[in-house]
Chains A and B, each alone.
Chain A
Amino acid sequence: MNEFAIGSENLAKAYGDIHAVRGINLNVPRGGIYGFLGRNGAGKTTTIKMLLGLMRPTGGAAQVLGMDVRHERIAILQRTAFVSEKKTLYPSLTPFELVRFSRGFYPTWSDSAVEKYSHLFEIPMKQRFEKLSNGNQTKVWLLLALCQGADLLILDEPTTALDPITVDQLMHVLAEDALDRGCTIFFCSHQLEEVERIAEYAGFIDHGKLLMEARLDDIKSKFRLITAAGNSLPAQTSPQVLSVDVEEDFYRYVVTRDAESFAAELSRNGATVTSIATLGLREIFLQLVRKEQ
């Protein structure tokens, strides 16, 4: 698992009968941006908490930057920056004081990065955290994570409450500055458009199960929506056919691979294939989740 920034084998977390994470096998390559996608309550945050040692797995194993999450928590945290889903920080401290607080924990801390990103994100550094707007509170979290000089950035819903301009700036920072340093970014979100913009790899999680994990380009190049007209065409799903929608004599197939050969087979069965279209990440995600349901 060492060539991966994050690797897990059958990682699981259960609370009695409730299975929050059901044996997932994550493989997050080093030096890239990995979009970890799922609905609310899909198990994203629980997975992250296990990776950071905030929760103990009830099954399986996981490694972060080649280190075991059960036994090397502090060494992992030394090299990992984290932006939490809940953007709460010490209410009475100012961003300046929060920087002062965080700096001492990391030998790789960069004061020039503080200067750069506090200006870029226009953070009021001398205002108490509790007085900041939600957007600015999120920016403080991002500032603290970006200045840490970490090898791995784990971002849990990092764009919460951010305006489109700041989201754009953040994406730019992540895609250029962080990656230039060789940092791996584990981007956890249900904002699919944002992930689609910058991620190289994507993993889809739902009900604690990893539905799919692959290079984003591969996912987009393989998934196709085939529309065909005909009578008595196949209406069942298969490993190749993710979903079928039938409306009178029109069939809409979402296929996961070999779209051309599937279309040819439909034609042989007397169907008229009207289109073979690519799918966006949103449609792919929705299809995968619907199939799981």
Chain B
Amino acid sequence: MYFWKCWRETRVSFYVFLLIAVTLAVLPWKIMDYAMGDLGAGQFFALAWMMLVFASSALLSVAGMSLGATGISEEFAHKTAGFLLTKPRSIRFFVWTAWAANALQFLALTGTMVLMGASILSWRCHVPFTGRLLLTFVPGLIMTLLMFGMTYLLGVLHRNGRNGFISCLGVVIVFPIILKSLEYFWHVHLPSPGDMYPVEMSEMILHPELIATLPRLWPLVGWLLVALACPFIAQLVLERTEL
């Protein structure tokens, strides 16, 4: 029932994001066709594929953060927590149900955009659609899943989804600056979600064929675990919260 209620409250934004995802999945091919139709098939594919990877990361970041902001934290913001938490279910049930309802929407958006975009490009450029190519999306997806989880957790800490969204946005902006500063001034390298990418972005733009390079495994696993730890921490926080 709570799953249904979560879906009921986020379905409009899900449909909007789905529409944008479908548009963005088609867009790289159309833009490339219009602007660089005279490129060789290989280079055309690599550039269009890279555009799709960036577009999916950008859209899914926003979608992830906005879905993360509509979880159980909104029960506190709307003052409905007193109603919900007097239902005979554990807090763990509510935390994970809200997370799962939003995560499923997030995965549906991801699947639609990635599979649709990749299929179109693969068909247009006559390049076989392989699992190895799909792996290029994984770092971006884990990054957005991390932002989804972080917004969810920060929303619970603030007891307000919107504040969670703003805080996560702040972290996304400030965290890389801190990491870069540490590295530049003190030569300290802390683990960063950027470690998931096999090559630097700038390098990838200059040499689009590098897109097929496999991402690094352990940073992927590590940051995936961090993303999944966020709702768990949210659960622990809520179990200690009083209304």
User: Taking beta carbons and an 8 Å cutoff, which residues of A are in contact with B?
Assistant: 49, 52, 54-56, 74-75, 77-78, 80, 82, 84, 86, 88-93, 97, 100-106
Q: Is the CB of A52 within 8 A of B86?
A: yes
Tally B residues with Cβ within 8 Å of A.
19
Q: A91-B78, A97-B8 are in contact. Are A103 and B83 (CB under 8 A)?
A: no
Q: Is the CB of A77 within 8 A of B1?
A: no
Q: How many angstroms between the C-alpha atoms of A88 and B75 in the bound complex?
A: 10
B1-26 CB contacts (< 8 Å) to partner A: 1-2, 4-5, 8-9
Q: How many angstroms between the C-alpha atoms of A103 and B4 in the bound complex?
A: 13
B80-95 CB contacts (< 8 Å) to partner A: 80, 82-83, 85-90
Q: Is the CB of A89 within 8 A of B85?
A: no
Which residue of chain A has the shortest Cβ distance to B84 in the bound complex?
A90
Is B243 interfacial (CB-CB < 8 Å)? yes
Q: Is the CB of B243 within 8 A of A49?
A: yes
User: Taking beta carbons and an 8 Å cutoff, which residues of B are in contact with A?
Assistant: 1-2, 4-5, 8-9, 78-80, 82-83, 85-90, 242-243
Which residue of chain B has the shortest Cβ distance to A82 in the bound complex?
B86
Other A-B pairs beyond A88-B80, A104-B1, 6, CB < 8 Å? A54-B243, A55-B242, A77-B86, A88-B83, A102-B87, A105-B89
Q: How many angstroms between the C-alpha atoms of A78 and B88 in the bound complex?
A: 5
Residues of A within 8 A of B87 (CB): 77, 102, 105
Residue A93 contacts which of B5, B82, B86, B89 (CB distance < 8 angstroms)?
A: B5
Residues of A within 8 A of B9 (CB): 90, 92
Residues of B within 8 A of A106 (CB): 88
Nearest chain A CB to B101 CB, angstrom units: 13
Nearest chain A CB to B39 CB, angstrom units: 49
Nearest chain A CB to B90 CB, angstrom units: 6
Q: Is the CB of B1 within 8 A of A90?
A: no
Residue B82 contacts which of A75, A77, A84, A97 (CB distance < 8 angstroms)?
A: A84
Residues of B within 8 A of A90 (CB): 5, 9, 78, 80
Residues of A within 8 A of B86 (CB): 52, 54, 77, 80, 82, 84
Highest count of chain A CB atoms <10 Å: which of B78, B87, B243: B87
Residues of B within 8 A of A102 (CB): 1, 87
Q: Is the CB of A105 within 8 A of B88?
A: yes
Residues of B within 8 A of A78 (CB): 88
Q: How many angstroms between the C-alpha atoms of A80 and B242 in the bound complex?
A: 19
